[in-house]
């Protein structure tokens, strides 16, 4: 029997046993106890490890957003939804994939990715929230957890890489085929007859999360309808989101009926949604002239806020095209008119940095850190400016003061590697480069950098022990991955 990518995806990702329940459409759903087999086939610690493997594997296959401003936004909206889900205590990690394809997916360990193409396609923040709430529901209903248990005989690295490949449309056929053979060889049986029920369950639970988080429940069927209508123009190139989340008339009807039971009210978009969407349009564009024309057409249309966002978009295009004087003028005006808005002032500081006016850039970033002391995105940009201006001592101190979560990001390791290189500490530089490559899913490069660090002169006993431990860790993971294949 030949398995299609869709079949494999559903076998690994979607729930194996459907759940039915009775509840009022507009009341809190009383979900049944599905049981927790933690400690049997896959433990919570292993699930966390699987999620980390998965995320690293994604980095080696696609472009994960590293822009701190975009990351902060998607994390903020995601955590708001997660906090209002039926399992608010579960850990979640939200990120943006810089791909124009329309896709979103939930991986193990609560890692939820949304393609930039899907964000740009949305016409309201609640539409984006509806997709994310649907993916959160896949996690809270333990769909992937159960599938991972069924495939528990695979090694964690192989399972994670396989899930990543399948979620992305089997971009690694050799890996996918090897994993399929391993699954078949271990006699793991998958049931894939409940796909429709699984999707509708995620819709129902996700819609409840939308309502609790104060997003528009009607946005879910609205976005589904637009996807269904647009799918007729794709031909054979159907977006991955529609392959893995088939939108049927019954699903649209079901979500529409449920949405109408909630009271109607206005759900305005946040300014951050509009600004991040504009930023992603610019990043994804291959035709700056066309993008500029699109933003310019909005300078005289819509609300005052929408016209301001259009102005911001034209400034971003100018900055991307290295028209620094034009960008400076636009952002200067926006920052002056909106003194409490961080995006405009940050863009102004970034303009000075990109034009290599480091003294002005540092002054602006210093002011921003004082004005927005809890904004991690600004802190990372400020540190980047310190590194590029040659102030590695201050940059190192600032990096050390970042919270633990930020210190696990690839950009942190990259900056630390650059700082130690500038401070003439090659062993530490190679060490942090190794961590950067590991976070990016490039285990062989990580091992190479660790070995370069070990060959450096003047190693003390403490650093030597750290390098030896990390080398052994990387080698063990590489062996496990090869063994699973």
User: What's the pTM?
Assistant: 0.82
Q: What is the pLDDT of residues 415-459, one digit of tens each?
A: 999 999 999 999 999 999 999 999 999 999 999 999 999 999 989
Residue 212 is predicted with a pLDDT of 96
Residues of the chain with pLDDT under 70: 1-42, 143-196, 230-247, 484-485
Q: What is the pLDDT of residues 205-244, one digit of tens each?
A: 999 999 999 999 999 999 988 887 766 555 555 565 666 5
Active site residues: 135, 203
Instruction: Count CB neighbours of 153 within 10 A.
Output: 14
Residue 60 is predicted with a pLDDT of 81
Residue 109 is predicted with a pLDDT of 87
Residue 31 is predicted with a pLDDT of 33
Q: What is the pLDDT of residues 334-371, one digit of tens each?
A: 999 999 999 999 999 999 999 999 999 999 999 999 99
Residue 36 is predicted with a pLDDT of 41
CB contact at 8 A, 124 and 267: yes
SS3 per residue for the chain: CCCCHHHHHHHHHCCCCCCCCCCCCCCCCCCCCCCCCCCCCCCHHHHHHHHHHHHHHHHCCCCECCCHHHHHHHHHHHHHHHHCCCCCCCCCEEEEECCCCCCEEECHHHEEEEEHHHHHHCCCHHHHHHHHHHHHHHHHCCHHHHHHHHCCCCCHHHHHHHHHHHHCCCCCHHHHHHHHHHHHHCCCCCCCCCHHHHHHHHHHHHHHHHHHCCCCCCHHHHHHHHHHHHHCCCCCCCCHHHHHCCCCHHHHHHHHHHHCCCCCCCCCCCHHHHHHHHHHHHHHCCCHHHHHHHHHHCCCCCCHHHHHHHHHHHHHHHHHCCCHHHHHHHHHHHHHHCCCCHHHHHHHHHHHHHCCCHHHHHHHHHHHHHHCCCCHHHHHHHHHHHHHHCCHHHHHHHHHCCCCCHHHCHHHHHHHHHHHHHCCCHHHHHHHHHHHHHHCCCHHHHHHHHHHHHCCCCCCHHHHHHHHHHHHHHHHHHHHHHHHC
């Amino acid at each position: 029997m030949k398995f299609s990518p869709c079949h494999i995806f559903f076998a690994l990702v979607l729930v194996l046993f459907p759940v039915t329940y009775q509840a009022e459409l507009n009341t809190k759903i009383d979900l049944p106890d599905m049981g927790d087999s933690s400690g049997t086939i896959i433990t919570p610690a292993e699930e966390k490890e699987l999620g980390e493997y998965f995320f690293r594997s994604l980095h080696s296959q696609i472009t994960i957003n590293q822009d701190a401003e975009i990351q902060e936004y998607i994390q903020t909206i995601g955590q708001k939804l997660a906090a209002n889900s039926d399992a608010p205590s579960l850990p979640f990690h939200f990120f943006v994939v810089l791909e124009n394809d329309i896709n979103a997916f939930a991986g193990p360990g609560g890692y939820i990715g949304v393609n930039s193409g899907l964000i740009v396609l949305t016409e309201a923040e609640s539409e984006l929230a509806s997709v994310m709430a649907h993916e959160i529901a896949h996690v809270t209903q333990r769909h992937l957890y159960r599938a991972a248990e069924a495939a528990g005989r695979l090694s964690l690295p192989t399972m994670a890489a396989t899930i990543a490949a399948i979620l992305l449309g089997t971009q690694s056929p050799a890996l996918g085929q090897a994993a399929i053979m391993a699954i078949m060889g271990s006699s793991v049986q998958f049931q894939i007859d409940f796909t429709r029920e699984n999707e509708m369950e995620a819709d129902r639970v996700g819609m409840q999360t939308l309502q609790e988080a104060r997003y528009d429940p009607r946005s879910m069927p609205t976005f589904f309808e637009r996807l269904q209508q647009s799918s007729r123009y794709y031909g054979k190139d159907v977006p991955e989101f529609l392959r893995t989340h088939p939108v049927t008339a019954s699903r649209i009807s079901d979500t529409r009926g449920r949405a109408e039971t909630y009271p109607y009210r206005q759900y305005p978009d946040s300014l951050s949604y509009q600004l991040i969407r504009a930023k992603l349009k610019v990043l994804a564009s291959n035709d700056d002239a066309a993008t500029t024309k699109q933003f310019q057409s909005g300078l005289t249309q819509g609300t005052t806020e929408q016209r301001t966002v259009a102005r911001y978009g034209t400034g971003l295009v100018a900055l991307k095209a290295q028209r620094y004087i034009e960008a400076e003028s636009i952002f200067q005006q926006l920052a002056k008119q909106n003194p409490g808005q961080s995006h405009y002032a940050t863009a102004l500081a970034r303009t000075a940095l990109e034009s290599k006016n480091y003294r002005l850039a540092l002054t602006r970033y210093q002011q921003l850190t004082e004005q927005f002391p809890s904004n991690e995105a600004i802190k990372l940009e400020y540190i980047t400016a310190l590194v590029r201006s040659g102030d590695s001592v201050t940059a190192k101190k600032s990096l050390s003061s970042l919270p633990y979560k930020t210190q696990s990001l690839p950009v942190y390791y990259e900056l630390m590697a650059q700082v130690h290189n500038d401070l003439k500490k090659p062993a530490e530089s190679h060490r942090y480069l190794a961590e950067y490559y590991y976070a990016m899913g490039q285990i062989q490069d990580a091992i190479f950098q660790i070995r370069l660090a070990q060959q450096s002169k003047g190693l003390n006993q403490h650093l030597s022990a750290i390098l030896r431990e990390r080398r052994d860790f990387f080698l063990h993971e590489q062996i496990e991955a090869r063994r699973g294949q």
